[in-house]
Amino acid sequence: MTTPSLLVELFVEELPPKALQKLGQAFSDVLSEQKLGQAFSDVLSEQLRTQGLLSANSVVTSYATPRRLAAHISAVISQAPDRQVEQKLMPVAVGLDASGNATPALLKKLQALGAGADAVAQLRKAPEPGKDALVLLYDSQVKGATLALGLQKALDEAIAKLPIPKVMTYQLEKDCELPGWSSVQFVRPAHGLVAMHGCSVVPVTALGLQAGNITQGHRFEAKVSSVVVKSADTYAEQLKTEGAVIASFAERRDDITRQLAAVAAKIGGGVRAIEDSALLDEVTALVERPNVLACTFEKEFLDVPPECLILTMKANQKYFPLLDAQGKLSNQFLVVSNITPDDASAVIGGNERVVRPRLADAKFFFDQD
């Protein structure tokens, strides 16, 4: 029988784009980029592994979009196996009297561990490292953690260890002791929590939320109002087909790269988009369903040094300027939109309109100098 996978998702308001990839990975690692999505996965997985809930062949996959952090971990067991634990109690001289009988101190220590006086005969003596004295050792069996308890601990740890430079404090409106008064802290307000082991919901909580199997798709283009996750393994595909969301940061990044090349090739003339890995990461973190569109600006702005135009388009507008076949800046640029309308003329016109004042400012200051 195949060991089920685990899926955990935090659905939140728009996350800071420059931190998204790192947060997502950190979340999954505690449950199992160098930024938010990767951080989430890393802490989550590490905590579950420490508790013995992951299999030797478990694989961790992190997901991060502007409105969610998620981790998918394959082969997660429902209860960790029991394990033998060796505990150092105290020096032999303290635990046993001259006749070899247990002292009150030893009996009290054993009682605290849930053992009785009959456990004295099972104690072992061993030299204490670096010392001549012997110590008493007690071997006990610790019951393995259940997935619900282990995941709760891992989830709390994953959220606490996310690399968030600044957090928001916001009030909870329901499912808390004092609605409207009870508050929690996170990078952005959280509105949903999904935790599924196979097809079953794992009863955990986080940030005032109870885990379920319902998440949200694209804000404008989802085919359904809510995506009901059937199982941990169908999460990414359901988000794509029903929610119009590409959950994987890496997949969205690759899709944008392909679209940039395809749109540039369609324009023709040997034009190509400027390569900028940091800009590519940032726009990937701004969209859930990328759609690359070609736009233009007036050729008169090309009298301004290209460095000025390129800087303002990339830094202020998150656009990809296009270079011609000779490597010179053209009066065209590519924009990565988060929507895919049948008629994109309004989106194209809006981006051309907002870039014009930026370029005009650059031209003005250049002319003044």
Tell how far CA 328 is from the center of its chain. 39
Looking at the fold, whether 126 and 231 belong to one and the same domain comes out as: no
Q: For residues 212 and 70, state if they share a domain.
A: yes
Query: Does the pLDDT at position 34 exceed 50?
Result: no
- Asked if the structure places residue 339 within a domain, the reply is yes
| Pair 262, 362 in one domain | yes
Q: Is residue 267 part of a domain?
A: yes
Q: Whose structure tokens read 């951080």? A: 39
Identity at 242, one-letter amino acid code: E
Q: What pLDDT was estimated at residue 130?
A: 74
Report DSSP letters for 159-190, one per residue.
Answer: HHTS--SS-EEEE--SSSSSTTT-EEEESS-E
Is there a single domain that holds both residue 321 and residue 296? Answer: yes
Could you tell me the residue range of the domain that residue 270 belongs to? 249-368
Predicted local distance difference test score (pLDDT) of residue 27: 55
Give the whole-angstrom CA distance, residue 284 versus residue 280.
Answer: 6
Mean pLDDT of the 66-93 span: 88
- pLDDT confidence bin for 88, thresholds 50/70/90: confident
Q: Do residues 166 and 286 share a domain?
A: no
Give the list of residues 6+ apart from residue 244 with CB closer than 8 angstroms, or none. 217, 218, 221, 222, 223, 288, 289
354 pLDDT tier (thresholds 50, 70, 90):
very high
- Which of 216, 241, 266 is the last residue in one of the domains? 241
Lowest-pLDDT range, 90-104, 248-262, 271-285? 90-104
User: Residue 350 domain-assigned?
Assistant: yes
Domains held by the chain: number: 3
- Position 35 scores a pLDDT of 63
Whether residue 250 is predicted with pLDDT greater than 60 in this model: the reply is yes
Asked if 74 and 157 sit in the same domain, the reply is yes
Taking the model in full, what pTM does it have? 0.82
Question: Taking all residues of the chain, what is their mean pLDDT, rounded to a whole number?
Answer: 89
11 strand-pairing partners: 68, 192
Asked whether residue 135 falls in the same domain as residue 180, the answer is no
Residues 312 and 342 in one domain: yes
Q: What is the pLDDT of residue 30?
A: 43
pLDDT in tens, 189-247: 999 999 999 999 999 999 999 999 999 999 999 999 999 999 999 999 999 999 999 99
Give the closest residue to 44 by CA, choosing from 95, 6, 82.
Answer: 6
Highest mean pLDDT: which of 100-109, 184-193, 325-334? 325-334
Q: What is the pLDDT of residue 258?
A: 98
Pairing of strands 183-186, 168-171: antiparallel
Share of the chain above pLDDT 70, in %: 94
Q: For helices 249-267 and 20-31, what crossing angle results, to 10°?
A: 150
On whether residue 1 sits in a domain, the answer given is: no
Residues 127 and 184 in one domain: no
Does residue 299 lie within any of the structural domains?
Answer: yes
